[in-house]
Amino acid sequence: MVNHSELIQNLISKETAQFQLSTSQLVESSLRKGEGRLTSTGALRAVTGEYTGRSPKDRFIVEDDVSRDKVDWGEVNQPISEEIFNNLYKKVINHLDEKEEIFIFNGYAGADENTRLNLRVVNEFSWHNMFARTMFIRPGSKEEAEEISPQFTIVSAPEFKADPAVDGTKSPTFIIVSLEKGIILIGGTEYAGEMKKSIFSVMNYLLPEQNVMSMHCSANVGENKDVALFFGLSGTGKTTLSADPQRELIGDDEHGWNQNGVFNIEGGCYAKTINLSEEKEPEIYKAIKFGSVLENVVIDEEGTPDYDDGSLTENTRAAYPLEHIDNARIPSVAGHPNTIIFLTADAFGVLPPISKLTKSQAMYHFLSGFTSKLAGTERGITSPQPVFSTCFGSPFLPLHATTYANMLGELIDKHGVSVYLVNTGWSGGEYGVGKRMDLTYTRSMVRRAISGELELHSFVEDSIFGLSIPTSVPGVPSDILNPRNTWESSEAYDEKAHKLKEAFIENFRKFDKSSEQIAAEGGFKL
For the chain, domain boundaries = 4-34+55-190, 213-267+331-521, 269-324
Q: What average pLDDT does the segment 404-431 reach?
A: 95
State the helix-helix crossing angle for 126-135 and 23-32, rounded to 10 degrees: 150
Whether 303 and 152 have beta carbons less than 8 Å apart is answered as: no
Dist. CA 211–CA 217, nearest whole Å: 18
What is the DSSP-derived secondary structure letter of residue 328? B
Q: Give pLDDT, residue 347.
A: 87
Task: Report which of 322, 265, 273, 82 is spatially closest to residue 183, judged by C-alpha positions.
Answer: 82
Distance of alpha carbon 24 from the chain centroid: 27
- The confidence score (pLDDT) of residue 371 equals 86
Angle between helices 401-415 and 359-368 in degrees, nearest 10: 150
Please identify every residue annotated as catalytic.
54, 197, 216, 234, 238-239, 253, 317
Euclidean distance between the first and final Cα of the chain, in Å? 51
Q: How far apart, in whole angstroms, are the C-alpha atoms of residue 79 and residue 312? A: 32
Q: What is the rounded distance in angstroms from the CA atom of residue 349 to the CA atom of residue 437? A: 9
Angle between helices 82-97 and 4-12 (to 10 degrees): 10
Would you say residue 109 has pLDDT above 80?
yes
pLDDT grade for 509, boundaries at 50, 70 and 90: confident
Q: CA 503, CA 512: separation in Å to the nearest integer?
A: 17
Taking the mean position of all CA atoms in its chain, how far away is CA 403? Answer: 19
Q: What's the pLDDT at 515?
A: 67
Report the amino acid identity of residue 492.
Answer: A
pLDDT of residue 456: 87
Report angle CA 275, 44, 319 to the nearest 5 degrees: 60
Q: 411: Cβ–Cβ under 8 A, 6 or more apart, which residues?
A: 213, 257, 336, 417
Lowest mean pLDDT among 96-100, 260-264, 301-305, 387-391: 387-391
Give 290-299 pLDDT, tens digit per residue.
999 999 999 9
- Give the Cα separation of 9 and 125 in Å (integer): 19
pLDDT of amino acid 116: 96
**Is the CB of residue 386 less than 8 Å from the CB of residue 369?**
no
Mean of the pLDDT values across residues 428-432? Answer: 90
Per-residue pLDDT, 167 = 97
Question: Edge-to-edge, what's the strand order for the sheet holding 78-80?
Answer: 17-19, 102-109, 117-123, 152-157, 183-187, 174-178, 59-62, 78-80
Classified as helix, coil or strand, 66 is: coil
Three-state DSSP class for residue 494: helix
Phi, psi for residue 269 in degrees, rounded to 5: -120, 150
SS3 for 256-278 is EEECCEEEECCCEEEEECCCCCC
The one-letter amino acid code at 274 reads: I
3-state secondary structure of 50: coil
Give the CATH fold of the 4-34+55-190 domain: Phosphoenolpyruvate Carboxykinase; domain 1 (3.40.449)
Has residue 46 got a pLDDT over 90?
Answer: yes
> If you ran DSSP here, which 8-state letter would residue 179 be given?
T
Q: Are 464 and 494 in contact (CB under 8 A)?
A: yes
What is the residue-averaged pLDDT of the chain? 93
Q: What is the mean pLDDT of residues 93-106?
A: 97
Decide: pTM greater than 0.85.
yes
Residues 6 or more apart from 70 whose CB is under 8 A from it?
205, 398, 399
Measured CA to CA in angstroms, residue 464 lies from 14, 385, 470, 507 at distances of 64, 22, 16, 17
φ, ψ at 217 (rounded to 5°): -155, 160
Using CA atoms, how far apart are residues 511 and 360, in angstroms rounded to an integer? 16
pLDDT for position 2: 81
Question: Span 474-502, mean pLDDT?
Answer: 94
> Which pLDDT score is estimated for 376?
55
- Stretch 163-183: mean pLDDT: 98
Alpha helices in 184-339 (DSSP H): 193-206, 238-242, 282-287
Give residue-wise pLDDT tens across range 332-382. Answer: 999 999 999 999 999 899 999 999 999 989 999 999 999 876 555 555 655
* Cβ count near 297 (within 10 Å): 24
Determine the average pLDDT of the residues in 173-191.
98
In contact, 354 and 449? CB cutoff 8 Å: yes
Name the H helices within 207-299: 238-242, 282-287
Q: Which of 174-178, 233-237, 345-349, 396-400 has the lowest mean pLDDT?
A: 233-237
CA distance 346 to 371: 6
CATH of domain 213-267+331-521: 3.90.228.20
User: Does the fold of domain 213-267+331-521 match that of domain 4-34+55-190?
Assistant: no
Integer Cα distance of 71 and 497 in angstroms: 35
- The radius of gyration computed from the CA coordinates of the chain, to the nearest angstrom, equals 23
In the prediction, which pLDDT does 234 show? 75
For residue 231, pLDDT beyond 80 = yes
The residues near 241 (Cβ < 8 Å, ≥ 6 apart) are: 218, 230, 341, 343, 424, 442, 443, 446
Cα separation, 478 vs 423, whole angstroms: 15
Q: Does domain 269-324 have CATH number 2.170.8.10?
A: yes
pLDDT at 524 over 80: no
Residue 233: pLDDT band (50, 70, 90) is: confident
